[in-house]
């Protein structure tokens, strides 16, 4: 830049340079001192370019073999490498990394900026889980279990089939439940199950009903499931991470229509509240949701939603090959005959649909449909609740024992301090008497 050269040659002052380019004096001075480089000069990286290339190669090899590294794991590897260097390099590392030989998270940020070809990805996303679980065998297992349940319970009418949010009917005596923190838990599900049971008993009480739900753990409440069973409502849980294919609510005919309507009604009522000078409260929110549900979840929309996922009428051919391959690491065979696979898996589904599989302290429904209010499943849920209650009781007893020991130790420390102080006072008194 010609102006910068003039300043260096002494032909142009810093103030004149600032006025010419419309900047403050301090910015002009910093610009001149850095030779026009706007980025602040920082210290050189601790690792040399060759060492960083080795780290990049290490990351790539781990990614190829399926062992992606988290930030903490990568920083731990860097710390282990630094600990193998010379004492002089380790002292330099401690000056760089705030007294330790392990880099901090800031190092990872600058490292990725120096190597833009490396990309971070989030492990365990819902899309990844869906792609891994959406297998033809899992889909066929679901429809085989539905077919067996329709046969056993004599499901011959669409009024006998429902899903959780569509099964409820709010009226003037509906209970508004508030809790802190907000959200759905097992106690709320028990109230919800009682509401569904009352509603289903009021219509065709002698008919068996089938309630399809997802695998959320809040629905694993023995009390609520037994309440539904007494009302002749049989609860079937979809295979985990399969609601995007099997859940009627996740179709464009249900929530695909409801969500835009809800946003529109909330926006309209919020603007009306603002115009009237009153706050937008929970009452207005519920009104907006009610209006959106009435407009979007019509009879035709709900019939279309159940037909789209093949729940009613039962039709496994609605699941497309593209849905099963979406996001998968490798494509599936295009000639998979799901209806034939459904008929072949019927004996396996009969054996597994009422079986309780407990993994990591909870009920597992991975890869199969499960009848949640089957007696074996209810017994397993009761046992898990009893085990959790026993663990909670033991933890509380251990906590009380620790608090008791701590209080006893504190009392002894106080008594010891008092005795020591008394001895010191006696000694001081003797010293004064002798003087």
Q: What is the pLDDT of residue 169?
A: 36
In terms of C-beta density within 10 A (0-12 exposed, 13-18 middle, 19 or more buried), how is residue 239 classed? buried
Residue 51 structure tokens: 């060492």
**What sign does the CA torsion over 319, 323, 328, 333 have?**
positive
Distance CA 39, CA 30 (A): 11
Distance CA 183, CA 86 (A): 55
Per mean pLDDT, which of 34-43, 147-156, 181-190 is the most reliable?
147-156
Banded pLDDT at 37 (limits 50, 70, 90): low
Banded pLDDT at 124 (limits 50, 70, 90): low
Banded pLDDT at 144 (limits 50, 70, 90): very high
Contact assessment for residue 238 and residue 369, using Cβ atoms and an 8 Å cutoff: yes
Distance CA 374, CA 354 (A): 6
161-163/209-213 β-pairing:
parallel
Residue-wise pLDDT for 179-212, tens only, equals 455 556 778 888 888 888 888 888 778 889 998 8
Output 336 or 275, whichever has higher pLDDT: 275
- Say whether the peptide bond before residue 181 is cis (omega within 30 degrees of 0): yes
What stretch of H or E contains 48? none
Q: By 3-state DSSP, what share of the chain in percent is helix, strand and coil, each rounded to 5?
A: 65, 5, 35
Contact assessment for residue 52 and residue 45, using Cβ atoms and an 8 Å cutoff: yes
The torsion region of residue 332 among left (phi > 0), alpha (psi -120 to 50) and beta comes to beta
Instruction: State how far the alpha carbon of 26 is from the alpha carbons of 15, 29, 33, in Å.
Output: 9, 5, 11
Contact assessment for residue 249 and residue 257, using Cβ atoms and an 8 Å cutoff: no
The contacts of residue 125 (CB under 8 Å, 6+ apart) are none
362-363/370-371 β-pairing:
unpaired
Distance CA 369, CA 142 (A): 5
Residue-wise pLDDT for 310-342, tens only, equals 888 888 888 877 777 665 555 566 667 888 888
Banded pLDDT at 176 (limits 50, 70, 90): very low
Distance CA 177, CA 191 (A): 9
pTM above 0.95, yes or no: no
Q: Mean pLDDT for the chain? A: 82
Distance CA 309, CA 316 (A): 8
Distance CA 191, CA 197 (A): 10
Distance CA 83, CA 86 (A): 8
Q: What is the pLDDT of residue 148?
A: 92
Percent of the chain past pLDDT 70, that is, above it, reads 87
Banded pLDDT at 66 (limits 50, 70, 90): low
Q: Is the pLDDT of residue 242 over 80?
A: yes
Q: What are the backbone dihedrals phi and psi of residue 36, each rounded to the nearest 5 degrees, phi first?
A: 85, 5
- Scored b (16 or more CB within 10 A) or e, 7-20 reads beeeebeeeebbee
Q: What count of other Cβ atoms lies within 10 Å of the Cβ of residue 89?
A: 14
Q: Is the pLDDT of residue 35 over 60?
A: yes
Banded pLDDT at 167 (limits 50, 70, 90): very low
Per mean pLDDT, which of 31-45, 117-131, 184-198 is the most reliable?
184-198
Residue 301 structure tokens: 């929309």
CA-nearest of 97, 93, 92, 116 to 107 is 97
Q: What are the backbone dihedrals phi and psi of residue 225, each rounded to the nearest 5 degrees, phi first?
A: -65, -40
Secondary structure class of 335 (helix, strand, coil): coil
Contact assessment for residue 104 and residue 71, using Cβ atoms and an 8 Å cutoff: no
Residue-wise pLDDT for 93-106, tens only, equals 998 888 888 898 88
């Amino acid at each position: 830049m010609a102006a910068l050269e003039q300043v260096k040659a002494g032909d142009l002052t810093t103030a004149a340079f600032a006025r010419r380019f419309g900047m403050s004096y301090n910015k002009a001075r910093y610009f001149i001192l850095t030779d026009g480089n706007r980025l602040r000069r920082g210290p050189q990286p601790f690792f040399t370019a060759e060492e960083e290339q080795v780290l990049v190669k290490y990351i790539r090899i781990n990614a190829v073999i399926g062992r992606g590294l988290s930030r903490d794991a990568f920083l731990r590897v860097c710390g282990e490498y630094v600990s193998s260097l010379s004492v002089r390099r380790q002292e330099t590392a401690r000056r760089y990394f705030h007294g330790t030989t392990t880099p901090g998270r800031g190092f990872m940020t600058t490292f990725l900026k120096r190597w833009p070809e490396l990309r971070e990805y989030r492990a365990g996303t819902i899309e990844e889980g869906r792609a891994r679980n959406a297998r033809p065998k899992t889909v066929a297992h679901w429809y085989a279990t539905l077919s067996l349940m329709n046969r056993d319970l004599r499901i011959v009418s669409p009024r006998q089939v429902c899903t959780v949010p569509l099964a409820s009917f709010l009226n003037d005596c509906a209970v508004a439940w508030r809790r802190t923190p907000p959200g759905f838990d097992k106690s709320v599900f028990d109230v919800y199950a009682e509401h569904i049971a009352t509603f289903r008993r009021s219509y065709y009480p002698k008919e068996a009903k089938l309630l399809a739900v997802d695998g959320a753990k809040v629905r694993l409440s023995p009390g609520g499931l037994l309440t539904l069973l007494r009302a002749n409502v049989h609860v079937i849980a979809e295979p985990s991470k399969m609601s995007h294919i099997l859940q009627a609510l996740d179709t464009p005919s249900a929530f695909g229509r409801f969500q835009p309507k809800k946003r529109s009604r909330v926006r309209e009522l919020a603007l009306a509240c603002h115009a009237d000078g009153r706050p937008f409260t929970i009452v207005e929110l519920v009104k907006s949701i009610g209006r959106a549900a009435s407009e979007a979840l019509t009879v035709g929309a709900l019939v279309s939603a159940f037909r789209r996922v093949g729940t009613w009428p039962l039709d496994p051919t609605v699941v497309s090959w593209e849905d099963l391959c979406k996001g998968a690491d490798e494509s599936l065979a295009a000639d998979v005959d799901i209806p034939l696979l459904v008929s072949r898996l019927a004996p396996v589904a009969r054996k597994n649909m009422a079986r309780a599989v407990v993994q990591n302290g909870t009920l597992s429904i991975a890869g199969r449909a499960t009848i949640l209010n089957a007696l074996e499943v209810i017994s397993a849920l009761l046992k898990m609740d009893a085990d959790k209650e026993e663990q909670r009781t033991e933890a509380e007893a251990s906590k009380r024992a620790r608090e008791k020991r701590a209080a006893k130790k504190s009392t002894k420390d106080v008594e010891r301090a008092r005795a020591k102080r008394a001895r010191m006072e006696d000694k001081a008194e003797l010293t004064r008497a002798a003087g």
